[in-house]
A and B are shown apart, each in its own frame.
Chain A
Amino acid sequence: MTAAAPRPAQQTRRSLRTETLEARPVNLDGFVEEWPEKGLVAMESDFDPQPSVRVEDGVITELDGRSRADFDFMDSFIADHAIDVATTEASMALPSVQIARMLIDPGVSRAEVIAVTRGLTPAKVLDVVKLMNVVEIMQGMQKMRARRTPANQAHSTSARDNPLQVAVDAAEGALRGFAELETTLGVVRYAPLVAIALQVGGQVGRGGVLTQCALEEATELELGMRGITAYAETISIYGTESVFVDGDDTPWSKTFLASAYASRGIKMRFTSGTGSEVQMGNAEGRSMLYLEIRCILMAKGAGVQGLQNGSISCIGVPGAVPGGIRAVAAENLVASMMDLECASGNDQSFSHSAMRRTARMLPQLLPGTDFVCSGYSAVPNSDNMFAGSNFDTDDYDDWNTIQRDLQVDGGLRHVREPEILAVRAKAARVLQALFEYLELPRITDDEVEAATYANSSNDYPFRDVLADLTGAQQVMDRGVTGLDLVRGLEATGFHDVAENLLTVLRQRVSGDLLQTAAVLTADFTPLSAINDANDYAGPGTGYRLQGERWEELKKLRHVTSATDPETEVD
């Protein structure tokens, strides 16, 4: 059963159909049998605890069958910081089926649901979502998502860590509609240059785009504090004490890190996801979803505004067991029903099958989430330094067509090539000028030209990597900040980009981006659960793809004109 033996060569004659099916991409994916005793099970396990709570003198003394004396540090943190002690006994007394029905009943408001969910224990939350099929999970997500307007997030990285590529692909991604852009590195020392490129390129594509650079935690925080990035996301949390300790962390240390960001007005969210604990061999016999629910409650207890979840880099684990993608949809819903922003995954290579890749994202795209992908690859997957995403630049037209077919808003739009070339060229020139201003290694006119028309990192002239790394170190040594970038942009004649970046940086003074699910519109209006609260209450309510935005999404690369069928709509 667990033998790693290659399948024995078939001696008997095989059907031609079997041969055809064997050659289908889906059969390159890995699938495994469940092993609930070890936690290799999505969400239906006899080894998960039963829901229970006991409160004495305003303190939770029993949680899911465990008394306080036996709490591990996850139990303690959740009992003391995540669960509302005043309402927990009443919420826990409600039958799970009643709570599940509240989640999908348009007659029950989001606020009414949250008044109940804030008092639930992890096992009770699991008990509720186990009653829901994927359509009901989507119905729940449609109502429980924090922000009314859905959005999307992109990865902009380079296999060569070429800052110029990151800048122009950030610009194109922003123009296509991504509200947030994320980068990371192959060679970590390149980070300051690539983070600057992302920040500046993004503002060329569309003012108000937020950027982050996924790094080791101390450096990531420093770049944020300097204003070279605008938010942070890759602060990982885990569902068992043993896995937390393996990473030399605790819920309290992660919370301290979160408060460091908040102290500077910087948006941040945690990251977690099903499968990580069993992947690391320490699931303590609990199902993947039960452990993820503990993470979600831990994030809530820490006071962060949001969470990136949806299995993320462990997607191959839930993706390989029965019902695993249902569990992934459920974990997104649980983040939303805990009143957190949910950046809902779809950000890692998931399947060899295009059909499976699409099916995996429908539970997020159809109801809409705060960020449908928490990393759609805005570069070809060969350049994706997060090890590949579920969607990349090759899929842009498919994504736009699916939005148009189903009349759903996945955050992107088709943009005509001349506009794309214009922002790519401008982003390249802006970075060229800024590097010169900051006395960083030169970007040549040939590079600018290549960047304008490039697809992947292979289409760019090689850079002098050692000179770039020296320059990157100088950025850190000289204490370059976001304001220096603004000054450089202004001094080199790119007033509009300088203005855009300054306006993004000013948000950390107002603190508006600390609100749940905050993004900035193109005119720098913060949209969050405060001023753009999800008000879904059944058919005809909530966010509807209509009006100007719908007209925009009707456009594709090739649409035959109704007035002159010999031409295409421009």
Chain B
Amino acid sequence: MTTLDAPAERTLTLRETGPATRGTRPDEVVIAVSPAFGDPFTQTIVGVPHAEVLRQLMAGIEEQGVGVRVVRVWGTADLAAVSHIAARLSGSGVSVGLLSRGTAMIHQKDLPRLSNLELFPQSPLLDAPVFRAIGSNAAQYAKGQSPQPVPTRNDQMARPRWQAKAALLHLKEFECIRADAGPVELEVTISR
């Protein structure tokens, strides 16, 4: 595992446009990002720019002909909670939850909070193609299909290299939580 080379610089702008609302389109996926996503953090634990993460996820969803909305959850940095809140906002009931370090989950509103459709727990192993595949699968669930799960990767040496940094990033993300702020709608601008 080495740090990924950052692709050409893209800038990510996330502008809050108001409280997140429940979607009515049955063919949409809601992506929910955690409190520190994009600001103050700008990349995942292995240096995938947040701009690239969102770009790939959104492209993966749109390629399936499914709509996408992006929200930020302020009240928690617990991936299951972030994802489940988004699922309940999603018109299709399907969501992708995302932590700043890259950990991701596909969730569905009728599942228990601590369950999920697909979980990608090893953030150091998630690169651009995986994020695209996650978007694609989420969109297929939204269409009522049963896609093959995105192949999970396993690297036994991820622990010695990344575990403590993951803990540190988690603690920093926790500091960005605004306990009494509800989820907000985001307008996403990715330059280039």
Contact = CB atoms under 8 A, between A and B. Distances in A.
Contacts of A29: 160-161
Interface of B: 1, 3, 6, 41-45, 47, 77, 101, 154, 156-157, 159-172, 174
B163 A384 contact: no
18 contacts: A2-B169, A4-B41, A4-B47, A5-B43, A6-B47, A7-B3, A29-B161, A30-B164, A40-B167, A279-B170, A281-B167, A315-B159, A317-B163, A320-B163, A320-B164, A348-B159, A387-B156, A388-B159
B174 A281 contact: yes
Contact of A381 (B1, B47, B156): B156
Contacts of A38: 171
6 nearest A-B residue pairs (beta carbon): A316-B163, A388-B156, A320-B164, A316-B159, A6-B3, A349-B156
Contact of B47 (A5, A31, A350): A5
B164 A32 contact: yes
A310 interface: no
Contact of B167 (A278, A349, A352): A278
Interface string A312-329: 011111011100000000
Interface string A263-294: 00000000000010011110000000000000
Contacts of B163: 30, 279, 314-317, 319-320
Contacts of A275: 167
A35 interface: yes
B171 A349 contact: no
A9 to B, nearest CB: 10
Contacts of A316: 159-164
Interface string A208-231: 000000000000000000000000
B161 A32 contact: no
Given A278-B171, A316-B160, A321-B164, 17 more contacts: A4-B42, A4-B44, A5-B43, A28-B1, A30-B161, A30-B163, A30-B165, A32-B168, A278-B167, A280-B170, A281-B77, A316-B159, A316-B163, A317-B164, A320-B164, A352-B161, A387-B159
Interface of A: 2, 4-7, 28-32, 35, 38, 40, 275, 278-281, 313-317, 319-321, 348-352, 381-382, 384, 387-388
Q: Which of A316, A317, A350 has the most CB of B within 10 A?
A: A316
Given A32-B168, A40-B171, A279-B170, A4 B45 contact: yes
Nearest to A283: B171
Contact of B172 (A2, A314, A317, A349): A2
B168 A40 contact: yes
Contacts of A382: 156
Q: Which of B6, B43, B154, B167 has the most CB of A within 10 A?
A: B167
B159 A4 contact: no
Nearest to A381: B156
A147 to B, nearest CB: 30
